[in-house]
Structure 1
Amino acid sequence: MKEEDSILRKIGTKNAFRVPDGYFEHLTSEVMNRLPEKETAIVKSQEPTTWERMRPWLYMAAMFIGAALIIRVASSDRLPSADRTAADDAETEMEYIHTAMDNSMLDDYSLYVFLADSEVE
């Protein structure tokens, strides 16, 4: 505390920074006067060519064709539902049920309680 008081006595509490009178009133006009003149660009308007008009439509068509091909390739490894038999569906469903039961870690009594509660509702 004593050090701060001694420093304040030596330096004082006045603001040491000063701005010339009228500096901020004329600042904007002086900055604008120092800027170089902007050159106006001459734009020639031309009629768009046929390719420039058709390009967005062709790009969009190519995008949809590509998406359709990707979907077709990604789903080609699956057999159509008409080729699968009902027995295959039943076997697959039973495999899922057995896998789910093995992973559920339920004992016989817990399974019985679950099935008994679900039949009531």
Structure 2
Amino acid sequence: MKEEDKIRKKIGAENPFRVPDGYFDNLTSEVMSRLPEREKNAIAQREPTRWERMRPWLYMAAMFIGAALIIRVASSDRTPAADSVVADETEAQMEYINMAVENSMMDDYSLYVFLADSDAE
């Protein structure tokens, strides 16, 4: 037999805690009557300054500017200027070689033989 069943046999399944009849009917009104009266206008409300009124708008604008900068930096092309110069030079050389090959009137086999002979030397 489980320990839980032993406890239930010994004590029983009924709830030992009781509340007097009608206790919760007037509970709210009794608690409210025991509270002290609230003083009205205990603290004088002052007019917020211009800075206090503009501060949330400035913070929001700064947040959007920061988010835009982060997106711009994250999505920018990270190629340094020196790499682009090297790429331009390589592209120009390849273009020159392609034009020279096309103008030489050589077919693929003749070009292969020429390159193989020049590598052998």
TM-score by length of 2: 0.35
TM-score by length of 1: 0.35
Task: Flag the structure with larger Rg.
Answer: 2
